[in-house]
Structure 1
Amino acid sequence: MLRRTLDRLYDAGFVLAALALVAIAVLVLVQVAGRVIDRSLIALGREPVGIAITSLSEMGGFLFVGAAFLALAGTLRAGGHVRVTMLTDSLPVPLARANSVPVLLGALGLCGFALYSAFVQARDSYTFEAVSFGMAKFPLWVPQAVMVAGLALLAVALIDGLVALLRGQTPAWRAAEAAKKGGTDGH
């Protein structure tokens, strides 16, 4: 039951990340279509309609950050993060597993620090009602809260992998990497 819940949580992060990318594409498409329509009207000697999305680059940036952070956990589980495995691949399985535990603890520590920092920044932005600098004023705590959610999800995925290692199981990213290579992996 917990495994299914965690997998759905990671999948939800992927879906939200994909939706953020789709939103970027739609916004850019509307902006480009607006420019084409306006230029066509000008070429025909008519008044342009003025279809423009205020602060498009800022909105796109916020959506892109959301997509990147929300996809972190799912990408880790799918074996999509760049990892240097030359050492662990050359070690016997028990040593490779033992080496992976402190590495995961270090990754979890770094993720925890980033999570704490992002949370403090989002809380401060909310408390002081900070807004973006563009023409359209967006409350900064909203994209920052998405960063916090993505980092929290990554921390859960790291803990998930650490628990799997400590139980003698293969973490999801190792299984995914092994499947890509066409073999099995014991660590």
Structure 2
Amino acid sequence: MQRWAHHLFQVAAQLAGLSLLCTLIMVLFSITGRLWPSISITGADAYAGYFTAGTAFLALAPTLKRGEHIRVTLLFSHLQPKAQHAMDVLCHLLALLMACALAVFSVRLVLQSHSFMDISTGLDATPLWIPQMGMALGCILFALAFLTDLIRLLQGETLHNASGELARTE
């Protein structure tokens, strides 16, 4: 399961990168449309926003798996190894529950937007379930990332490097 999930997280990272590139393209179209109105794309600003949100949500799981999320370790670093492990398991369990709730409500939002035929208020009239899919997929993968980390913790593995550094600070 770990290998399969790792592949999914890599695909999510690539989709987040593609979404970021699409954000850039939409912003450039928006700027170009202001300079030369004949090249204008209706709703380019809205699409840039949709792609930006997609980028943020699709990047959640790969960022977690790389250890790039911020962790506050003030209390954690003063605990004994067994207590650290227990605290890590508890924190991952709580994070998994919250990520699952976020995923459920995100999927529900997509389904409701689709069933109500909800569209954006701009001139582009985009069906909102389409850009909301990136958020839902990102939330599902985020929950899966916490689940795989929790499984590793319960198997006795540690999720941080030997130096104890839990976040990179380049």
TM-score (norm: length of structure 2): 0.90
> 1:67 maps to which residue?
55
1:9 maps to what in 2? 8
Aligned-pair CA distance for 1:116 = 1.3
Q: Deviations over 1:89-136 (max 9, x none)?
A: 221221101111111111111111111111111111111111111100
Q: CA deviation at 1:3?
A: 2.6
* d(CA) in 1 for partners of 2:167, 2:136: 31
Distance 2:43 2:146 in 1: 36
User: In structure 2, what residue type is equivalent to 1:175?
Assistant: N
Identity of aligned residues (%): 33
Question: 1:137 offset after TM fit, Å?
Answer: 0.9
Match of 2:84 in 1: 96
| 1:160 paired residue among 134, 148, 170 | 148
Instruction: Pick 1 or 2: higher relative contact order, CA cutoff 8 A, min separation 6.
Output: 2
Which position in structure 2 is the counterpart of 1:141?
A: 129
* Structure 1 residue ranges (4+ consecutive) displaced by more than 3 angstroms after TM superposition: 33-36, 175-181
- Please name the residue that 2:113 is paired with: 125
| Max Rg structure | 1
1:106 aligns with 94
Distance in 2 (CA, whole Å) between partners of 1:6 and 1:119 is 20
TM-score, with structure 1 as normaliser: 0.82
- Structure 2 unmatched ranges of 5 or more: none
Report the counterpart of residue 20 of structure 1 in structure 2. 19
Q: Distance in 1 between matches of 2:42 and 2:2?
A: 43
C-alpha contact (below 8 Å) 2:118/2:129 kept by paired residues? yes
CA distance in 1, matches of 2:138, 2:156: 27
Q: Distance in 2 between matches of 1:74 and 1:54?
A: 32
- Does the CA contact (< 8 Å) of 1:31 and 1:51 recur in 2? no
Aligned residue pairs total 167
> How far off its partner does 1:34 sit?
4.0
Name the CA shift for 1:107/1:54 in 2 (closer, same or farther; >3 Å).
Answer: same
Structure 1 gap ranges (5+): 39-48, 182-187
CA RMSD of aligned residues (A): 1.9
